[in-house]
Structure 1
């Protein structure tokens, strides 16, 4: 995926630069551009000095892209910086992909600082971008620096013309601040459509979820939503988030927190009520976290999914549930059976923008990537993977968090409704076949 963030670098090019820099994911924040800030040495230093690691990228009219990386602050006037992590690079030549890293041969002359110079790499200089002020002509900046590639940085037998097309004309020069951590991917179009998020939409969602219930002819009183997942995945927090939405305040119905082992030990269904005391037609069923030495193990998980475990059953890691246990449901009915979906919790850790603005979830490439990964991992359609942000630190309700929780909850209830109707149709078909067979036998 090559979605653009601020600046001209694509995500694919950033992926390449991450590998060249090493040590994990990087965030690239545009801090200077000659097309928007002016090609001026004073402006460059005002915006780029004391920023830590930076990446300088040049784009020329022939479609070549190249530049340099510095892991240290730009040095002061007339000073060199010894930076063993600096390198020059090439991403494209005349529009064609050409990904090369040119390593530093002399750390003493890694980068050079001068009040009248733009970004300058190497003694000689290998790449001095510009001096003073350069004004554009017809959208092109004829940089007045120098390109003595190969002096301090090894270009492995190449010539400067193999990188710059024989000139320092550029359509733009950008400087990015480089920091540790995964970068945010912003999509031009939402990866999942939804109506505009406002109080009317929140009210419509609430009313629809309150109205959803199992078909009357099945004689099932309520949907039951089993929450199953690893320790600390946010199952109990989701229970609290949903109950908070309908109670109109932050609630703490389920025990939750950060611990090495599961805080929840009981298979416990939570009834959800509205502010006026009305009871909704579903229950959230919390369960112990799955872990290797404690909590649920594989057989118990299968028993839960198949509907064999009675409510309020207390799990004991020392003695897993078996068919001989009192209350074990040997033949689960339709009300105990379970279709599956995935609640993708902790999306605020995947994308910090979503933490403060949940409505941005469907334009977040970071969240979309996690949805795709979960879909592939569990073998479920992507629309069965539902992102949510739980209440944890908040003291007051937020419309965005409520809407996201209700979108996920509504879809889960849709799945349950479809599942029950499908089972009902299958049962009616079986009964019809049996009835026809009995009638045929009697006639015979």
Structure 2
């Protein structure tokens, strides 16, 4: 009879997102195979990299360990690249993770993970007593209850199949995660120049199907800690988005609003009378178009429209335009679409708004995890794509948002520029 795991579908998907497209094969379950270290050891020895899951009443805790389990009583000898993570059992099933080097010792009574810090801290797991003691270091990193001792309900061990490039891949994940967290911390600490506005507005412009709405959902998901789908997305030859939407982003479910807003628009189409009307763009940039305005491809908004904002303030204006492109489709932009982008770029330049190119649907995660994150656009974008983009948007800067001064283009700083890379790269 097959043994059923306690690991939920959502937890498994979160682990696959963390470790790559791996398979988890159940090796050991304490309530089935016995709650002794020897029972676990005999089933898990020489199985390669493993994930150990400990299920507590209010949360689940896990350890990814690279390489084989050590021999019993071998002692704390070899430093191992490990990932420690926890799932909070709330409505969102939030996952937090910490990348730490540790050594493992297996005795007849318990597993002990030692962290090479001063003073030395240990994580110990006693299967017979069903207790786990988590050191203060991990409690703080994973946001766990300050009570360092937990009584667990179940322990399971999985073999991890399909892990890429062993230590090299884990090291890249570690560096990428640290870099991503640094960028997101910069964004949380960002303040618009001279406090002229409390939130900057970023307009997403791009062809139909380029992923504008999906990008917003990804950004929101990053800060909420789970997948969200506030913006309507789909696949069609015409734009799914038909309303102008102004989205704020909160840091966590009940957190405060972050200092930027993403403005979603109808997709651009190469055909006239289809998609976003170019004549609407200057009104959007100047802050004259209200939230939830219904676009009409045939009829742009005018000052006579009842919802038209006649005297927009600085906070209503667009402070940066992000040209959104599907990185896999840049080579296929038609001459008509290139011509339309030149029209759009002319309007943006006339309004003196900062602009940046934002690439979505990056499927090659290996290139995303390059060592030089700040120049990864050079490895991800071919020279022909760069030239085509320059032709379609002659003044568009692919790598930076120039905004250290006001009123020159925009209110963005380098921290927001870097966050664009972190969001579209690491949350997809």
**TM-score of the two chains, using structure 2 as the length reference:** 0.41
